Amino acid sequence: MRTALVNGRVLTGERIAGGQTVLISSGRIEGVVPPGDPRCRDAVIVDLEGHILLPGFIDVQVNGGGGVLFNDDPSLDSIRAIGAAHRRFGTTGFLPTLISDDLDTIGQAIAAVQASLDARLPGPLGIHIEGPFLNWARRGVHDPKHLRRLDDGVISLLCSLRGGCTVLTLAPEMTTTGMIAQLAAKGILISAGHSDANFAQISAAIAHGVRGFTHLFNAMAPLAPREPGIAGAALFDANTWCGIIVDGHHVDPVMLKLALRCKRHDKFMLVTDAMPPVGSPEPSFILQGRTIHVKDGVCRDENGTLAGTGLDMATAVRNAVSLLDLEIAEAARMASEYPAAFLGLDGELGRIAPGYRANLALLDEDLRVQRTWIDGL
């Protein structure tokens, strides 16, 4: 059965334009064609009513949603609930994210994600293991009792996911460049974060396989005049990706505007670092024994430490437009095309183009999500 999405404005390439019909067949985009294309005659017509059709958003850092925290219950049901909550806000692909925990819980989380991939659950693309190989001084809300150095004993566990992406956030100073190279060679996507490493240490880690940086500027040593540190390395290196939280609280918008002047925009990706409040009205939740209070989408523990966000990807896109002065098309690409490239999935996700999976989000003039499709459904 062929579906024709008509009467919308479509992001193809770098611009949003009208006068195009998107044909979907067998879960993939068959073509982006003029409305008079003969293949439209036998298709199911879906009127987009002039709304904006974007590639579905891809979020590489999702701790929870719908009242569910992945660390609390690393299971198939949790992934299903989290995915359903975020899909309402345009996210059609995501990495369930486990913050620092014990090795048994990491194993359970990987097994749950494997089950979701085997079951072809809509949404999950792999797993993000954020810690426990982090610097104690930059741990944020991560429980210090779980922090440890990365050694040979956990390599097989970290590399056990089959058929999906594994992102590992680590502090490079908590392991060796040889270990980083070994993980990268096995296909692990290594992101530096929660780190106090200096510029030389980060540069060496990049040379050995670090691919990106987790929530730029947060939980990392700041820029200094005689020591650029991890933030300086992230902005100086042209080939690594930077995840950015655009909620107006984690990072001052001026700092993010400065960052965007330092390297190409396609090396930045919007992330939510979302917690259970996304898609849930609850004013608080429990994170590893601590009560986290939520106010205006901001999550803090009893000491005022930021603890993830109540941010969804549609809001992140709106914020990128309003706070960072980006065009809608560019903000949308930061939520779709660029994270797909970071994950190595840019040949099938993140664009509206022939052959790509039909993962799509339909937004109105206010950039509120009206409908989503995952593999055409």
Contact 100, 131 (CB under 8 A): yes
Q: Which residue has the tokens 């979020």?
A: 59
- DSSP-based three-state secondary structure for 40: helix
Residues with catalytic roles = 273
- The pair of three-digit structure tokens given for residue 194, joined into one six-digit string: 């929660």
The secondary structure of residue 158, as a DSSP letter, is H
Exposure b/e, 340-377, CB count within 10 A at least 16 = b:
bbbbebbeebbbbeeebbbbbbbbeeebebeebbbebe
End-to-end CA distance of the chain: 12
Give dist(CA 68, CA 252) in Å, integer: 28
Amino acid (1-letter code) at residue 336: S
The secondary structure of residue 105, as a DSSP letter, is H
